[in-house]
Amino acid sequence: MARRLNTIIIVPHSKARFLKFSFSTRTLVVAVSAAVGALILSVIAIAYTGSAVNRRVEVQQLKSENTELVEVNRRLETTISEVQGRLDEFEERTTRLALAAGMEAQAVGFSGVGGAATRVGSGGPYDRLPESPETLSAQGRWVQNQLDLVEGRLTEQNHLLASTPTIAPVVGLITDGFGRRKDPFTGRLAHHDGLDVSARRGTPIRAPADGIVVFSGRNGGLGRCVRISHDFGFTTVYGHLDKITVEAGAEVHRGQEIGLLGNSGRSTGPHLHYEVHVNGVAKNPLYYILDAF
């Protein structure tokens, strides 16, 4: 049986010779398969070439980024070293302040990561770890904590100083001191809880420390009287005033006028009766006068 052929006739134009191609079906299938295969290989080759180009671009980009990271790391190391030095300086200065504030052996909270707690004034450095952001952060918190402790202690000391009677409420002639004496009215020995200071009537009486007026008015033998409560257990009393210039509940400050010297109540002449109490116990006022007598 004769093999079947497929024929393609190509006529370029009306007078030209036509071209005829004859081929079998098998040949056609092979040719089409080959063309499709070539097309697929071309697509794969193009895709691979594009991928390779992209990879080369990515590699170059990574190299550039790596170079930048190296420079950034170098600058970061320099910055960390500088910050570490400043923190060391701040640590030393705050420790000196803590010692000046009388804070020996006070726990300050920084021990490094996993180290033993350090105490102010103990004389031994904490375990230093290799410089790192974590270490710097921990040391920064240590310095901040110590500064808070120092600030709190100095504030407390300042408050104690402001609340402690230290100046004479009035300057004059001391006519009676603290302790046993003869009562000027009965002639009998009795304990005198305060200090009597004689001066011209109307002389201003001034608060010797910061505090709150807890009494302002007449009080039996003390006549016109003012009582001031200071913090830390201090209380002061002022008797025989001619005039009171503060009211109960008023906040007063050291040196502020609270009344005028007089002769009210059980008194033999113009003078101030001044008392100082610590936690309810009468003390010699002369121990709390630093600017006179």
pLDDT of residue 6: 65
Can you tell me the distance from the alpha carbon of 255 to that of 240, in angstroms, rounded to the nearest whole number? 19
Residue whose C-alpha is closest to residue 163's, from 232, 102, 115, 246: 232
Residue with more model confidence, 116 or 269: 269
In the predicted structure, residue 114 carries a pLDDT above the cut 50 = no
Question: What pTM value is reported for the model?
Answer: 0.59
Residue range 75-111, pLDDT digits in tens: 777 777 777 777 777 777 777 777 767 776 444 445 4
Cβ neighbours around 293 below 10 Å, total = 13
Q: 122-136, 138-152, 160-174, 195-209 — which is least confidently predicted? A: 122-136
pLDDT of residue 13: 65
Residue range 115-146, pLDDT digits in tens: 434 444 444 444 444 556 777 777 778 778 87
Task: Give the contacts of 274 (CB within 8 A, at least 6 positions apart).
Answer: 169, 170, 194, 195, 196, 197, 236, 237, 238, 239, 285
pLDDT classification of 180: cutoffs 50, 70, 90: confident
pLDDT of residue 75: 76
Write down the H helix ranges in the chain: 25-100, 133-163
Cβ neighbours around 170 below 10 Å, total = 21
State mean pLDDT over 28-40: 77
How many helices (H) and strands (E) the chain has is answered by: 2, 16
Give, in order, the Cα–Cα distances in Å from 3 to each of 25, 26, 144.
Answer: 10, 11, 101
Can you tell me the distance from the alpha carbon of 255 to that of 285, in angstroms, rounded to the nearest whole number? 16
pLDDT of residue 119: 41
Residue with more model confidence, 178 or 184: 178
Tokens at 248, concatenated: 């109960």
In the predicted structure, residue 212 carries a pLDDT above the cut 80 = yes
Q: 10-14, 69-73, 209-213 — which is least confidently predicted? A: 10-14
Can you tell me the distance from the alpha carbon of 280 to that of 293, in angstroms, rounded to the nearest whole number? 25
pLDDT of residue 115: 40
Give, in order, the Cα–Cα distances in Å from 101 to each of 84, 95, 104, 280.
Answer: 25, 10, 9, 28
Residue range 45-58, pLDDT digits in tens: 777 776 766 777 77
pLDDT of residue 47: 76
